[in-house]
Amino acid sequence: MCLPRKHPAKLGTVNVNVASVSPGSYAIQAYHDENDNLTVDRNFLGIPNEAIGFSNNAPVRFGPPRFDDAEVIVPPEGIRTALQLHSIWP
C-alpha cells in the first residue's frame, strides 16, 4: 500500500501526520522532491539525486534497504516514528 503525502520542506524537523493507517507492518520512505515533480530523480546509474530516507534510518547501499531493516509495526493506537533524509550522490 502506498500513502503518498506531500509536505513543504524546511530546515530542521518536519512533522507529517499520516492518519487512517490500519494496524500492521510497514516500511516508510520519504524524499526531498527538490523540483516538485512528484518523483525521486535519479542519475544515469539509477542513484537518487534527491535526499531520501527510510524508516528506522535503514541504510541505502546498492539499492533500497531490505524491508526487514525499514519495518515498523503500527499498533491499533498508532505510532510515532522518525527518519532522516540523506543525499546518496554528491
Q: How far apart are CA 16 and CA 21, in angstroms?
A: 13
Q: Is 38 among the domain residues?
A: yes
Q: Is 14 among the domain residues?
A: no
* Beta-carbon count within 10 A of 47 CB: 13
Instruction: Give which of 25, 80, 87 is closest to 60, Cα–Cα.
Output: 87
Q: Is 9 among the domain residues?
A: no
The domain in which residue 64 lies consists of 24-74
Structure-block grid coordinates of residue 74 = 503500527
Q: Is 65 among the domain residues?
A: yes
**pLDDT tens digit sequence for 13-41:** 888 888 788 999 999 999 999 999 989 99
pLDDT score recorded for residue 75: 94
Structure-block grid coordinates of residue 48 = 537518487
Question: Is this prediction's pTM over 0.75?
Answer: yes
pLDDT score recorded for residue 3: 62
Q: Is 6 among the domain residues?
A: no
Would you say residue 81 has pLDDT above 70? yes
Work out the angle at residue 62's Cα, subtended by the Cα atoms of residues 21 and 89, and round it to the nearest 5 degrees: 90
Count the domains in the chain. Answer: 1
